[in-house]
A and B are shown apart, each in its own frame.
Chain A
């Protein structure tokens, strides 16, 4: 059936503005801007990396600190890098919950209906999460300074330590984005992430030296990537002794090993996260 009816629009639509779909970087920057406004409007979102971390610092320093002896160092100095690492690892749980929460709302649908790369939603989130974690690390550093923690090396070493924290944190954030894209509810994400994160951060040299652990556990702890990062920070900041000669290889070369783990995890988790996010958006 053909229709040749005349069209008689009474008024014309306003002219369309030129639409130039933004690049991945531009779109990601816009998403970061949006996520940072969220932090500004809901400062309680920062509790997990601020108040909680400070609490951990104080609990360990004053409750356990007296009973954990660390050869060649005082416990508070030994502890601080460990707690900072723990915070960076837990940031993956936070980002996962935030993403799942967003996915349950309409806003992600809206973003996906726009002519932007779907990756930009995730890249933007990874960057804003990194900023989120950095705020936590800063708060902890200040707390540490107040209770006697010091960096006893030079500016370069200090900076390299913080850089490694962020690099590893970035890899962990992509793990979180992957989990967040796979799971359906915030509760499921929370349950899963904490089940993984606690052993990951405790079966390590974060809070106590590995030398006194049973040998099988010591083996796991010393190969745990979290230990390499912690050891790297301690060495770079002069907060602890070098790993004993019988420690596993990663602890003998913690800086290189941490860089390698971080790059490997990012290279694995980022594509998995993107694939999961895309798959989820097929339905």
Chain B
């Protein structure tokens, strides 16, 4: 069995008047894999997902989901995928069970099936206790979990997640990641958009970085990190008083050393594990007490900065706002 593509974006373009939100985006998501669509606010992530999920008609180009063309056979696409949108797409005035029933019935599933599958999903997402409460009483994390549960009621082979963890606290976020990993183990194909580099790094097999509507890089998380260049050795000292002496010693191994006094930390550019061992040895010989010593590879944040010249945290004031609708 060869892995056929579950999702394909083929030169997708979307214009809103004079504004080109998506400008020729192409990628392939093999069946059973996870693609992370990474970019800052306004990069065109949401618009790309809206086109692939038939919510928006491409200005040009097309997409395929489970082999069905989004332009030619949107209904077949809708049968093959689930969507968890950016704004929570559950109904606040309905209970969890009612939300599952609403969407299940609209997929044409039988009441009996919805009850059984719905209860399993509620159990899996730890919502059984809240199943008969209206969603407006839910916390942000619970809403997202329900949103995901609702998307899964018809067990779609392809799942689109638009910024699934935006606004969640770190704990809810890692819980949601765990759930997503479980889905992937079962063979569901995921396409998720995120502004969080860590999220893409954690979940995605392949990352496509987009900025201003264009793909600016793609590859595995490791490949992208390698592109951003050098690793560094980070040494955290026990006593700030030792900083100057430690810096002198580390300079013997590395051309570039950066000192942060309040953190009692030295960061030295390094080539890899060899440098780390050498620096570790020198420090140990000197008798300077160390809290922590490690090798830091460039994060996706660094990758983004390297690729675009600006950070990916969405604080860039010049960034054009994401075009909604």
How far apart are the CA atoms of A27 and B32 in the complex, in Å?
31
A97 to chain B minimum Cβ distance, whole angstroms, is 16
Contact of B16 among A10, A42, A283 (CB under 8 A): A283
Once bound together, how far apart are the Cα atoms of A138 and B87, in whole Å? 38
A38 to B57, CA, bound (A): 31
- Interface stretch among A18-26, A49-57, A156-164? A18-26
* A7 is an interface residue with CB less than 8 A from chain B: yes
Interface size class of B (residues with CB under 8 A): 35 or more
CA distance A27 to B109 in the complex (A): 11
Q: Answer yes or no: A215 CB below 8 A from chain B CBs.
A: no
Contact B89 A21 (CB under 8 A): no
CB of B49 to closest CB in A, whole Å: 10
Residue in A17, A42, A109, A281 whose beta carbon sits within 8 Å of that of B85 in the complex: A109
Query: Given A105-B87, A113-B78, A282-B57, do A12 and B187 touch, yes or no (CB 8 Å)?
Result: yes
CB distance from B157 to the nearest CB of A (A): 7
Is A30's CB within 8 Å of the partner chain B?
A: yes
The answer to whether B117 touches A13 (Cβ under 8 A) is no
Give the contact stretch, choosing among B100-108, B167-175, B193-201: B100-108
A7-B1 in contact given A17-B154, A17-B155, A30-B105 (Cβ < 8 Å): yes
Are A5 and B3 in contact (CB-based, < 8 A)?
yes
Report yes or no: B107 in contact with A114, Cβ–Cβ below 8 A.
yes
Distance in angstroms between the alpha carbons of A282 and B71 in the assembled complex: 11
Q: Mark B71-107, 1 if CB is under 8 A from A, else 0.
A: 0000100110101011111110110001000110111
Assuming the A-B contacts A17-B154, A19-B154, A106-B86, are A115 and B78 also in contact, with contact meaning beta carbons closer than 8 angstroms in the complex? yes
Cross-chain contact of B102 among A13, A15, A34, A105 (Cβ < 8 A): A34
**In which size bucket is the chain A interface?**
35 or more
| Contact in complex: A106, B2 (CB < 8 Å) | no
- Once A7-B31, A115-B75 are accepted as A-B contacts, the answer to whether A109 and B102 lie under 8 Å apart by CB is no
- Using Cβ atoms and an 8 Å threshold, which residues of chain A touch B154? 16-17, 19
A112 and B1 contact, Cβ closer than 8 Å, known pairs A14-B155, A22-B105: no
A7, A110, A283: the one contacting B325 at CB < 8 Å is A283
Q: How far is the CB of A181 from chain B (nearest CB, A)?
A: 12
Contact B157 A16 (CB under 8 A): yes
Given contacts A5-B3, A17-B117, A106-B89, contact A41 B134 (CB under 8 A): yes
Q: Specify which of B53, B108, B155, B156 lies most central, judged by the most chain A CB atoms within 10 Å of its CB.
A: B108
Q: Are A12 and B89 in contact (CB under 8 A)?
A: no
- CB of B292 closer than 8 Å to a CB of A: no
Q: Please, how many angstroms separate the alpha-carbon atoms of A16 and B85 in the complex?
A: 22
Which residue from chain B places its CB closest to the CB of A184 in the assembled complex? Answer: B325
Which of B16, B79, B91, B110: most chain A CB closer than 10 A?
A: B91
Residue of A nearest to B91 (CB): A107
Q: B310 contacts which chain A residues (CB < 8 A)? A: none
A16 touches B103 (CB 8 A): no
Per-residue CB contact flags for chain A residues 21-45 toward chain B (1 = under 8 Å, else 0) read 1100011001001100110011000
Given A107-B90, A115-B107: A7 touches B157 (CB 8 Å cut-off)? no
Q: Which of A105-124 contact B (CB under 8 A)?
A: 105-107, 109-116
CA distance in complex: A14, B188 (Å):
10
Could you say which residues of chain B place their CB within 8 Å of the CB of A37? 93-94, 98
Contact B55 A281 (CB under 8 A): yes
B93, B107, B188: the one within 8 Å of A13 (CB):
B188
Q: How far is the CA of A106 from the CA of B56 in the complex (A)?
A: 14
CB of B218 within 8 Å of the partner chain: no
Q: How far is the CA of A112 from the CA of B57 in the complex (A)?
A: 13
Answer whether residue A244 sits at the interface, using C-beta atoms and an 8 A cutoff. Answer: no
Question: Is A191 part of the binding interface, using a Cβ–Cβ cutoff of 8 Å?
Answer: no
Asked if A7 and B3 sit within 8 Å, CB to CB, the answer is yes
User: How distant is the Cα of A88 from the Cα of B117 in the complex, in angstroms?
Assistant: 42
Chain B, Cβ-Cβ closest to A121? B106
Q: Residue A245 at the B interface, CB < 8 A? A: no
- Expressed in whole angstroms, the minimum distance between the Cβ of A110 and any Cβ of chain B is 4
11 contacts between A and B (CB under 8 A): A7-B32, A9-B185, A19-B107, A19-B154, A20-B108, A21-B79, A21-B107, A109-B87, A110-B85, A110-B89, A114-B78
Interface residues of B (CB under 8 A from A): 1-3, 16, 30-32, 53-57, 75, 78-79, 81, 83, 85-91, 93-94, 98, 102-103, 105-110, 113, 117, 134, 150, 154-157, 185-188, 325
Q: 6 closest A-B pairs (Cβ-Cβ)?
A: A106-B89, A106-B87, A110-B89, A20-B108, A115-B78, A13-B187
